[in-house]
Structures are given as structure tokens and as C-alpha cells.
Amino acid sequence: MGYYPLMLDVSRCPVVLVGGGRDAEHKLFSLSDAQASLTIFAPKVTSAMLDIIQKHHLVWHQRSVQTTDLRGIRLVIAASEDPDDNRRVAHMARQAGVLVNTLDDPEHCDVMATSHFRRGHLLVSVFSGGLAPGVAKTLGKRLEALVSPQWSTLIERVNLLRRQLRAQDTSFAQRRQCLSDFVDQNLPDLFKQTPLAQGQVALVGAGPGAIDGLTIGAFKTLSQAEVVLYDRLVHPSILDAVPNLATRIHVGKTPGVATPTQTDIQEQLVHWARQGYRVVRLHGGDPFLFGRAGEEILALREAGISFQIIPGLTSALSAPALSGIPVTLRNVSDQLAIVTAHKASEKPNWSWLPHFAGTLLILMGMSTLEEVIRDLEANGRSADTPAAIVTWAGWEEQAEIRAPLAQLAAKAREHHMASPAVIIVGEVTTALGPRPAAPSDH
């Protein structure tokens, strides 16, 4: 094995990533964590890759890479799902004098990626010479559970002491001995860290929008996860809380894209847990409000897998709050109902509505908005009833409209409102008047 371990500062040298599938997605997560100066070549990319591309304003060319694209490039990572195309890219890179890393093909690699994780300035790598990357990854995950954030603090303290000793004009031998003694004195406390139990699943609510809506319990669980299966509506900033070495699997439903079935998701939860991993099933909002967490619990119980539940803030309540709309208000509304306009096999049943005078919070209703409004009016809601729609609650793209029920669909079309959205029907939408804009508003 002729490998010499070095660290490459990818923020200073241009890197090309070729590929748009799951393997390229894993590469992109690591490269974006390292703040790489990155260009991506792929006709299509996964939805998770698209989120990262947009978040970090990366360059994405929807075509194959060509020799002329490699001018000024220092590193090429060939990670497409076609081994022949990866070898073509590797040959092209070598002809151009550019270092290349090829997915699962050591013979066509000039450089090899390691399994690694970060703790501040500390970066720990595990390398198998390309012979058994799965072994290196598993070992890296076990090590990651043992290395607490305090290791980064120790590095900062050692660096400070090192500078102080240099300022005192001490000899190299004196500095080395002093630093060694300092580290030895502090290591015992760091090694007291105990990893959590293995082989468990946590059903976690991610809340609406960015990471500031995540509960402390959810954050702690994510920071210790080894495998994370996450929905489409989980904000990219929340995935930043996931450890570097964790396996991230996008299982959300994306229109027009082949996505895993609920059975697939449940089988993956059982599979990873039986391998001894700490697994997180990350749901947008709250796992139990019109989600599939109940089915996942049944599957886990049947398989004998232990699990925990960490609730999240539901968009049904957060969206109105983020728009300054109280869902209940003294002398205005002392009841609320949360309903879904999406049914697996039949239309929603609104027969109870004439006997209900409170606030309606309707989820998953944008694709059938006009039909929903007709049903509400047919079941006793006046066309003049105040209403509102809040889309992308908690995201940078959050938007809202307010209008009488009869005008709501037209105004939604005018403002290009689309899912994800919460439809709010009731006097509470106008009871406090329009919300004044604030500098921190999305």
C-alpha cells in the first residue's frame, strides 16, 4: 500500500463532482461540510443534492463533463452510477493532469477518500486502502460515539498553551514535554464518555422550517445518530446537526420522482436497527399528525426493535403562529379542528362542520383548494368567512395571503401559493388585524 496520508484544503482548490445518484449525494454531503469550491456535472441529481446545491449556491451543469471543463481543476471525483462512465472520467482527468478519485474502483484512483468525522478542529479519519470501506466506515462510527465535543476544546487549549510557550522562548524539547504533560492530565476525563445503547430507532419530529424550530431533545438525538431516514420537508439546516459519518437516506415523497414506499421505509428501519445502529426516522413537523409514524411503530414492535418518540412542532399550529394568527382567541374562537383534505381512498367527510363554530386548520389541501372551499360553503361556512393560507412555514420562502373564503382560491392563484401549506378558516385570521412586518421575518 503506497498511500501517504495528507489533508487537502478543498476550499482553496477547485473540485469537480461527477454524478447525481445516492453515492454522489454522500460525497456531496462531505464536500459541502468541508466548504469545497465545487462544480457538479450530472444530467439529474437527487432531491437532497438539489437542496445542498441551492443552499450553498453551487454550480451544477446538467450534462456530462468534458476535457475542457477540467482546466484549472485540482481534483475530480467520479461518482456516477455507471462504472464505465467513471472510468472514462478518470482517464480524462489523468490525461489532463488532474488527481482523480473513482467510486469503488481503487485501480482508477490517484487519491482515496477516508471515513472521517469532525469535532471542531479535530478531524479523525479511518482508511482501509480501498479494500473494505464498509469496515472503515463502521469503525469510524464507533469511534465517533466515543469522541465528545470536549476534544475540540482540548485542542484549542493546547494550541493556546503552545503559543504561550513559544512567546516565552522555551526550547522545542521543553514545549513538547509541557504539552504532553498537559494532554495526559486532561485525557482521563475525556475517555469517560460512554456511547448510548445501540440498535434503537428514534421517531423524531423535525418541526416546521429551519433548525431554530427543532426541540432540544430532537437535536441531541440527531447529533448521536448513525443512520437518518428523512422526509422531503426537512430543512437542510436540520441535517447539519447530523454527524458527518452518519448515513443519510432521503425517503420523502417528491412529485414526478420514484420514491420509497412506506413498506420500504419500515423495512429499512428494521434492517439498520438490527445491524446495531442508532437510527433516526426524521419526520417533518410532528410524526403523529397525518404522518406514518404509527405504521412504523407497528413494524418496529413486530420486529422486536426498541424505539423512542420525540414529538415535533406541527406546522398546523406553527404556521398560524409564525404569521401572527392565534388559532384560539377569547371571545372569538374557543375551539379548533385540524383536518386533512387528502384521503387515501375517498373525499373528506364534512358532515360535522355545521355543528362546529371554531377555527379550521386544513392540511394537504392546496391541490384541491377550490373543491375544499365548495365543500366548506356547502356545509355551512359563509363565503365571507375570513381565511388565510401560509406556505413554507418557518422556511426562507414563507409566504401568506388572507381573503374571504370565496376569494381565497383566486388570490392563491394570483400569488402562486402551493404546498406545503396550512389553510386557516375562521374569524381569528382577521381578529388581530394585519401583522406588522419585522426585520427578522422570512
Answer yes or no: is 290 within a domain: yes
Torsion of CA 175, 181, 182, 184, to 10 degrees: 140
Domain match, 418 and 321 both: yes
Q: Give the model's pLDDT for residue 199.
A: 80
Domain match, 424 and 342 both: yes
CA distances to 231, 268, 271, 318 from 203, rounded to whole Å, are 12, 13, 15, 20
Domain match, 63 and 161 both: no
Torsion of CA 54, 56, 59, 63, to 10 degrees: -50
- DSSP letter (8 states) at residue 227: E
Q: Give the model's pLDDT for residue 82.
A: 93
Domain match, 284 and 346 both: no
Residues with Cβ within 8 Å of residue 108, at least 6 apart in sequence: 78, 86, 87, 90, 91, 100, 102
pLDDT digits (tens, 9 = 90+) for 334-378: 899 999 887 655 678 888 988 888 999 999 889 889 999 999 999
The upper half-sphere exposure of residue 65, i.e. CA atoms within 13 Å in the direction of its Cβ, equals 32
Answer yes or no: is 135 within a domain: no
Instruction: Choose the final residue of a domain: 313, 344, 373.
Output: 313
Domain match, 257 and 347 both: no
Q: How many other C-beta atoms can be found within 10 angstroms of the C-beta atom of residue 168? A: 9
Answer yes or no: is 22 within a domain: yes
Domain match, 259 and 233 both: yes
Q: Give the model's pLDDT for residue 123.
A: 84
d(CA 350, CA 376): 7
pTM of the predicted structure, to 2 decimals: 0.58
Domain match, 374 and 408 both: yes
Answer yes or no: is 142 within a domain: no
- Where residue 31 sits, what CATH number does that domain have? 3.40.50.720
Answer yes or no: is 128 within a domain: no
Q: Which three cell numbers stand for residue 83?
A: 462504472
What's the total number of domains in the chain? 4
Domain match, 309 and 324 both: no
Asked if 99 and 39 touch (Cβ cutoff 8 Å), the reply is no
Handedness of CA 427, 432, 435, 440 (dihedral sign): negative
By CB atoms closer than 10 A (0-12, 13-18, 19+), residue 308 is: exposed
CA distances to 96, 171, 258 from 229, rounded to whole Å, are 39, 53, 16
Answer yes or no: is 145 within a domain: no
Please identify every stretch of the chain with a pLDDT value under 50, giving residue numbers as ranges: 193-197, 438-442
Answer yes or no: is 9 within a domain: no
Domain match, 229 and 154 both: no
- Where residue 243 sits, what CATH number does that domain have? 3.40.1010.10
Instruction: Choose the final residue of a domain: 283, 313, 343.
Output: 313
Instruction: Choose the final residue of a domain: 190, 214, 247.
Output: 190
Number of alpha helices (DSSP H) and beta strands (DSSP E) in the chain: 14, 17
Residue 401's domain spans which residues?
A: 316-431
Domain match, 328 and 426 both: yes
Domain match, 338 and 245 both: no
Residues recognised as catalytic? 231, 253
Domain match, 247 and 272 both: yes
- Where residue 347 sits, what CATH number does that domain have? 3.30.950.10
Answer yes or no: is 180 within a domain: yes
